[in-house]
Amino acid sequence: MDNNNVAGEYTDLYDEFKVKTDKKLFRKKGTKLEVPKGYYNIVVLAFIKNSEGKYLIQKTSSRKKGVYATTGGHVKSGEDSTHAIINEIKEELGIDIKRDECELFKTYKYESAFKDVYYIEKDIDISKIKYEKDEVESAEYMSVDEIEKLISDNKFRKTNIDAFRDIVKKNEI
């Protein structure tokens, strides 16, 4: 969507209880969303685990600082978070995920955002991934230990760490 021929998208704003308000905000492509005080937006993340117990992790493009992360993004205006994560996975990796494959694992609340984290168990053939080059450089399956090493080397997106560790704890039970 565009706003006066500027590339970007609208996102809905929510109150502190995650109830959608009548307000929305335009975010120019490539910029950080500036949410007004007292409002929240929703972001989504997906951790995809294969049958070998490894997680699909992507290396972001140089524009996105070349760090390792899981797939995610902002919920666009009019979307629910499940639809948003399905769209983000398709957009960034070219992978089709069905709604019934998406398990909402947990919602985190931060100062100006809710983060809905999805857990998906699926074997994906990496050779069939089609990268959105503006956002993703590559992807590979990694073990928990390999991801923890990226975290300790400060190469894993900081906003993904809490959710990753909570998912790992869930899977150890």
Strands, E assignment, 6-76: 8-14, 20-28, 41-49, 55-60, 68-69, 71-74
Q: How confident is the model at residue 28 (pLDDT cuts 50, 70, 90)?
A: confident
In the predicted structure, residue 68 carries a pLDDT above the cut 50: yes
Count of alpha carbons within 13 angstroms of residue 89, beta-carbon side: 25
Give yes or no for residue 5 having a pLDDT over 70.
Answer: no
pLDDT band at 163 (very low <50, low <70, confident <90, very high): very high
pLDDT at 6 exceeding the cut of 90: no
Can you give the pLDDT at residue 32? 83
Look at residue 139 in the predicted model and tell me its pLDDT.
96
pLDDT tens-digit profile of 118-135? 999 999 999 999 999 989
| Domain residue extents for the chain | 8-172
Determine whether domain 8-172 maps to CATH 3.90.79.10: yes
CA-to-CA dists, residue 15 to 23, 49, 82, 110, 113, angstroms:
10, 32, 19, 12, 10
Averaged over 153-162, what is the pLDDT?
Answer: 96
